[in-house]
Amino acid sequence: MNWRRLNHSLHRDIGFLCIGLTLLYALSGIAVNHMHDWNANYSIEQFNLQIDPLPPGVVNSTQIQQILRQLGETRISKKHFQPDPENLWLYADKRMIRIHLPSGNVQAEKSQRRPFWYRLNFLHLNHAKQAWTWVADIYAGGLFLLALTGMLLLPKRADLKRRALMLSLSGIVIPVFFLLLYY
Amino acid sequence: MRKTVALTLTVLMLSLSVVSVMAKTFGDGITLEKMTSVSELLENGDAYVGQRVQVRGMIVDVCASRGCWIYVAGEKPFEKIRVKVKDGEIIFPLEARGIEAVVEGTLEKFDLSREEVIQRKRHHAEEQGKEFDPATVTSGKIFFQIRGLGALIEGI
């Protein structure tokens, strides 16, 4: 087997091997980049409600039960926190309820994991650690080999050779340009 | 071809579903034996700046977009301390709100000007998808924060 054939086979097989992980990292990469515009990990629904106003201060358990009754909560939650005398935060079943006592304004928030995206980001951001770090390192090595073998896939036709060179150079120049621009 | 695509997708979904996302230990986990109260850190923080400390309390809020910070409630009314972690190093799940946790990290002190407070609060509001009025900030602020290194969250 000559080196061209070996290089081509390596490029093809590593390419196949990298398909799944490339899709994972690419999809999650877009999601993570745009986290400020769209929360890929959770879908969060917010509801505004109104209850009777309460005087500011430390809220007791009787008042909390009254609030929960007004909110139609059947499950009485003992988990609560007051960030200041005017606000009360309640926690119940994946929900957080923020109450402004003097106005009686209630903001309820229900969060739900997006199963697909959460898991994708979990792997992309290496939250798994342990053996997954090795998988990610091997994948990075695979991409490195893919680039190296890709550079040696020189086409025989002169016009294609020129195109290959231009595209390869663009891929190098683009990050360098942004580095010079922002760094 | 259709069968191959369906099989590949099934294998992908099954592989993803077996990944455990319910980790109880985050980052380095818990290494210290002695716990310090949130009240102590808020009142006498200068004595602990730069030291690794451990606090215990209910997680009262979590960064909804990146899971990069939490607030842990103190023992006294209206007390809470912010725990900030490096983005991506530890990701606190939103489900941790209202759950007891033990958290460790290095105590930091911030002495911010009014402009810096506005910038911080604006960023915080953006993360939470809320509106922010800079006029509500009238002065600078000195506060303590834990640079989170590890945590143990119960029942998650």
In tens, the pLDDT along B85-100 reads: 988 788 899 999 999 9
Joined tokens for residue B45: 């923080």
Interchain contact, A89 vs B60, CB within 8 Å: yes
Amino acid at B85: V
Element (H, E) at B100: strand B100-112
Q: What confidence score (pLDDT) does residue A120 get? A: 93
| Residue A172, pLDDT score | 93
CATH fold for domain B24-153 = OB fold (Dihydrolipoamide Acetyltransferase, E2P) (2.40.50)
> Between chains, do A125 and B58 touch, taking CB under 8 Å as contact?
no
Return contacts of A79-84, CB within 8 angstroms, 24+ apart: A79/B58, A79/B98, A81/B58, A81/B60, A81/B73, A81/B80, A82/A58, A82/B77, A82/B78, A83/B60, A83/B78, A83/B80, A84/B78
**A contacts of B10 (beta carbons < 8 Å):** none
B145's tokens: 């924060």
pLDDT per residue as tens digits for the range A24-39: 999 999 998 898 888 9
Is B78 in Cβ contact with A82 (below 8 Å)? yes
Nearest residue of B to residue A96, measured between CA atoms: B97
Provide the pLDDT for residue B11. 56
- Provide the residue ranges of all domains of chain A, joining segments of one domain with +: 3-39+115-152, 43-112
DSSP SS3 for B104: strand
pLDDT at residue B12 is higher than 80 = no
pLDDT tens per residue across span B65-84: 888 999 999 999 999 999 99
Determine, for residues A84 and B91 on separate chains, whether the beta-carbon distance falls below 8 Å. no
Quick one: which of A66, A38, A42 has its CA closest to A53? A66
Q: Which residues of B touch A120 (CB under 8 A)?
A: 16
Closest Cα of chain A to B72: distance in Å? 10
Q: Do A126 and B61 touch (CB under 8 A)?
A: no
Give residue A71's pLDDT band: very low, low, confident or very high (50, 70, 90).
confident
Lowest-confidence pick of A93-97, A131-135, B30-34: A93-97
Q: What is the helix (H) or strand (E) element at residue A151, kind and residue range?
A: helix A130-151
Closest by alpha carbon to B96, among A82, A106, A41, A46? A41
Percent of chain B, pLDDT > 70? Answer: 84
Distance CA A156, CA A123 (A): 40
The phi, psi pair for A77, rounded to 5°, reads -100, 135
Residue B112: its H or E element: strand B100-112
A41-53 pLDDT per residue, tens: 999 999 999 999 9
What confidence category does residue A81 fall into, taking pLDDT thresholds of 50, 70 and 90? Answer: very high
- CB of B104 within 8 A of CB of B152? no
> Which residues of chain A lie closer than 8 angstroms to B66, CB-CB?
35
Q: Which residues contact A137 (CB under 8 A, 6 or more apart)?
A: none
Residue of A nearest to B11 (CA): A20
Q: pLDDT digits over A143-157, tens only?
A: 999 999 998 887 778
Q: Is the pLDDT of residue A1 over 90?
A: no
CB pairs under 8 A between A and B: 65
* Residue among B20, B73, B91 whose CB faces A81 most closely: B73
pLDDT at position B19 is 41
pLDDT tens digits, B88-142: 788 899 999 999 999 999 999 999 999 999 998 888 787 766 788 888 888 898 9
Nearest-angstrom CA–CA distance, B87 and A26: 19
Residues from chain A that touch B23, judged by Cβ atoms under 8 A, are 127
In angstroms, the separation between the Cα of residue A67 and the nearest Cα of chain B is 18
B residues 98-117 closer than 8 Å to A (CB): 98
Is A75 in CB contact (< 8 Å) with chain B? no
Q: Quick check: B58 and A81 CB within 8 A? A: yes
- In sequence order, which residues have a C-beta less than 8 Å from that of residue B23 and are 6 or more positions away? A127
Report pLDDT for B9.
56
Domain segments of chain B as ranges: 24-153
Pairwise CB contact (< 8 Å): B80 & A81: yes
- Using CB atoms, pick whichever of B19, B58, B61 lies closest to residue A119: B19
Mean pLDDT of chain A: 90
